[in-house]
C-alpha cells in the first residue's frame, strides 16, 4: 500500500448523498444487478454493496452479482445482453471502468470506480475516486459510501481484502480490520480469491469467489474452509502458479527506441499482469510489458507496469493513436498499470511503434 492515511475525504459527503439518493429511489422487491470485476477489489466492493442493500430492505433473492466473461468488459455487447436478460430495475457497476457508454440503455445505473474515467455514460450516476487523494480503491470507496451510519462496519474486512489486493491507501477502518483479522489470513485469502479471475475457469471461479467472500465470517474462515467453492479456488490457485512459473522463464527483450522491456509468451491463464508486476521491480528504469498470445484466440492480451515517472495511459495512446476507437480493450485503467486485449495484427502494429 502507498502508506498514506485516508480518513477525511472532502469529496465523500457529496458522493454519499448521491449514492443514498440513487438507492432511495429503487424498489426493494425488484431485480437488481451488481456487475463487478472478478478480482478482489471488484469482489470486495460487490460484497460490501450486497450486504448493504440487504440491510436496507432489498430482497436477497432479487440481487444478482455478475462479472464480464473472459476477454469481455462492462461495455461489451455480450455483457450488456447478459445483464438485459435479467430485466433488472437497477444496475450497479463496480471497478470496471467508466466510459461515455451505457451498459444497458434505459436501466438506472450507478458506477463506483477508481480508474481514469473516459467520458461519462448518459443518464447514470458516476462516483469515481480517481481525483481523490489518495485514490481509494473501488472496495474502499464502496465501503465509505455504504458505511455512512455504520451499516456495514462488520464487513470492513472484506473491503480490506479488496484494498490490499489492489495496493490501495491505508485507512483507519481498513487498518483496524487488518489488525483484527491478521494480515497473514487476509493475504492468503486474497491470493486464493484472486486466482479465480486469473485461471482458465474464470467464469466458474469468479462465481465461487464471490459466494465465498460474501458468506464468510472471516478471512481465516476462507483459508481454512473445506467447501466445494474453496476447494475449486485452491485448484485454480495451483493452476495459476504453475502457469506463472512457466511464464517467468521468458527473458525480456528491449526496445531499440524506447525504455521499454517486453516479455512475450503464451498461456491460457491470465498471468500477464502478474508477470509484468514481478519484473517491474527488477527493471526499475523501464516500462515493462507482458504480452500473452495464448489467452484468447487471434488476440494478444498485454499488461504494462512501471516505476518510471510516466503516465502509461497517455504513453500507450501516443504510440498507437486511434487504436482505442476500434478495440474493446486498449489503454484503460491506472496511470501506472494498464494494458489491453487486441487483435494480433494490431499487436504487431503496437509492437513496431514501441521499437521492437
User: Closest Cα partner for 110 from 21, 184, 12?
Assistant: 21
Specify the fold of 253-353. Diaminopimelate Epimerase; Chain A, domain 1 (3.10.310)
Q: State the first-to-last Cα distance of the chain, in angstroms, to the nearest integer.
A: 33
Question: Which tens digit of pLDDT belongs to each residue from 241-264?
Answer: 999 999 999 999 999 999 999 999
For residue 248, the model assigns a pLDDT of 97
- CA 312 from centre of chain: 17
Question: Which tens digit of pLDDT belongs to each residue from 146-192?
Answer: 999 999 999 999 999 999 999 899 999 999 999 999 999 999 999 99
Provide CB contacts within 8 A for 43, sequence distance 6+.
36, 37, 162, 193, 206, 209, 210, 213
Residue whose grid cell is 459466494: 211
Question: What's the pLDDT band for 2 if we cut at 50, 70, 90?
Answer: low
Strands (E), 77-197: 90-94, 109-113, 124-128
When pLDDT is averaged across residues 311-326 and rounded to a whole number, the result is 77
Domain boundaries in the chain?
Answer: 12-231, 253-353
Question: What's the pLDDT band for 69 if we cut at 50, 70, 90?
Answer: very high
CATH class of 12-231: alpha beta
- Fold match flag (12-231 vs 253-353): no
Amino acid at each position: 500500500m502507498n502508506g498514506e492515511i485516508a480518513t477525511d475525504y472532502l469529496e465523500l459527503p457529496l458522493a454519499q448523498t448521491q449514492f443514498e439518493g440513487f438507492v432511495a429511489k429503487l424498489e426493494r422487491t425488484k431485480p437488481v444487478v451488481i456487475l463487478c470485476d472478478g478480482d478482489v477489489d471488484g469482489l470486495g466492493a460487490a460484497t460490501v454493496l450486497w450486504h448493504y442493500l440487504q440491510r436496507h430492505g432489498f430482497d436477497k433473492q432479487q440481487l444478482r452479482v455478475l462479472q464480464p466473461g473472459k476477454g469481455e468488459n462492462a461495455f461489451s455487447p455480450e455483457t450488456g445482453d447478459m445483464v438485459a436478460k435479467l430485466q433488472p430495475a437497477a444496475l450497479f457497476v463496480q471497478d470496471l471502468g467508466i466510459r461515455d457508454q451505457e451498459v444497458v440503455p434505459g436501466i438506472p445505473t450507478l458506477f463506483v470506480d477508481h480508474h481514469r474515467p473516459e467520458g461519462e455514460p448518459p443518464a447514470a450516476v458516476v462516483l469515481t475516486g480517481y481525483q481523490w487523494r489518495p485514490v481509494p480503491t473501488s472496495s474502499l470507496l464502496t465501503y465509505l459510501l455504504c458505511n455512512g451510519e455504520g451499516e456495514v462496519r462488520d464487513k470492513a474486512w472484506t473491503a480490506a481484502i479488496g484494498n490490499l489486493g489492489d495496493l490501495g491507501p491505508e485507512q483507519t477502518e481498513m487498518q483496524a480490520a487488518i489488525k483484527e483479522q491478521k494480515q497473514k489470513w487476509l493475504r492468503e485469502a486474497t491470493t486464493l480469491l484472486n486466482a479465480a479471475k486469473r485461471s482458465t475457469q474464470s467464469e466458474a471461479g469468479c462465481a465461487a469467489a464471490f459466494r465465498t467472500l460474501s458468506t464468510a465470517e472471516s478471512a481465516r474462515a476462507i483459508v481454512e474452509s473445506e467447501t466445494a467453492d474453496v476447494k475449486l479456488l485452491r485448484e485454480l490457485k495451483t493452476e495459476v502458479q504453475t502457469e506463472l512459473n512457466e511464464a517467468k522463464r521468458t527473458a525480456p527483450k528491449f526496445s531499440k527506441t524506447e525504455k521499454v522491456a517486453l516479455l512475450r509468451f503464451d498461456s491460457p491463464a491470465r498471468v500477464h499482469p502478474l508477470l509484468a508486476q514481478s519484473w517491474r521491480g527488477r527493471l526499475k528504469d523501464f516500462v515493462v510489458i507482458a504480452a500473452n498470445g495464448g489467452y484468447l484466440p487471434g488476440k494478444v492480451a498485454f499488461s504494462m507496469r512501471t516505476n518510471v515517472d510516466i503516465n502509461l495511459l497517455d504513453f500507450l495512446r501516443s504510440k498507437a493513436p486511434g487504436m482505442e476507437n476500434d478495440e474493446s480493450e486498449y489503454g484503460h485503467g491506472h496511470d501506472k498499470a494498464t494494458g489491453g486485449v487486441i487483435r494480433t495484427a494490431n499487436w504487431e502494429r503496437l509492437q513496431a511503434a514501441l521499437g521492437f
